[in-house]
Structure 1
Amino acid sequence: MPRRMTYRQIADDIAARVATGEYPPASKIPSYSQLAALYTVSIATAQRAVMVLHAKGIVYGEPGRGVFVKGHDS
């Protein structure tokens, strides 16, 4: 049985997806609940992963709309 990913591993995976263009600039990343299902983790773990991406300047949140990938110029 595979070990669950940590929030840091999830953040790294999402960052890699951004780098490859799977999540292009200005695109919305999956919601916390979608990320939790995708990585088979709790919503709290998904939230921590997104907080890491936010701290690294990879994504930004828009209240009521979601979390989006920052553009190269933003």
Structure 2
Amino acid sequence: MPRRMTYREIADDIAARIATGEYPPESKIPSYSQLAALYSVSIATVQRAVMVLHARGAIYGEPGRGVFVKGQDS
């Protein structure tokens, strides 16, 4: 069984997906539950990864709407 990714590895992977355009600017990233399923980790691990990306300035959250990739002007 492969080892589970750490929250930092997940943050780096999501950042790489943003950089390649898989998640373009102003697009909504998958939900916490979708990301947890994608990476086979707990929602708490996904939340930590999202906090890292938020601290890096790569994403922003809109209450009730979701988490989005920052665009040039955001």
- Normalising by structure 2, report the TM-score: 0.97
Q: Which residue of 1 aligns with 2:50?
A: 50
Q: Which residue of 1 aligns with 2:65?
A: 65
Count of residue pairs brought into register by the alignment: 74
CA distance in 2, matches of 1:2, 1:72: 37
Q: Indicate the percent of aligned positions where both proteins have the same amino acid.
A: 88
The Cα RMSD (Å) is 0.6
CA distance in 1, matches of 2:8, 2:47: 11
CA distance in 2, matches of 1:34, 1:55: 21
Q: Where in structure 1 do 4 or more consecutive aligned residues deviate above 3 Å?
A: none
- Normalising by structure 1, report the TM-score: 0.97
Task: Please list every run of 5 or more consecutive structure 1 residues that lacks an aligned counterpart in the other structure.
Answer: none
CA distance in 2, matches of 1:45, 1:4: 10
CA distance in 1, matches of 2:61, 2:28: 9
Q: Which residue of 2 aligns with 1:36?
A: 36
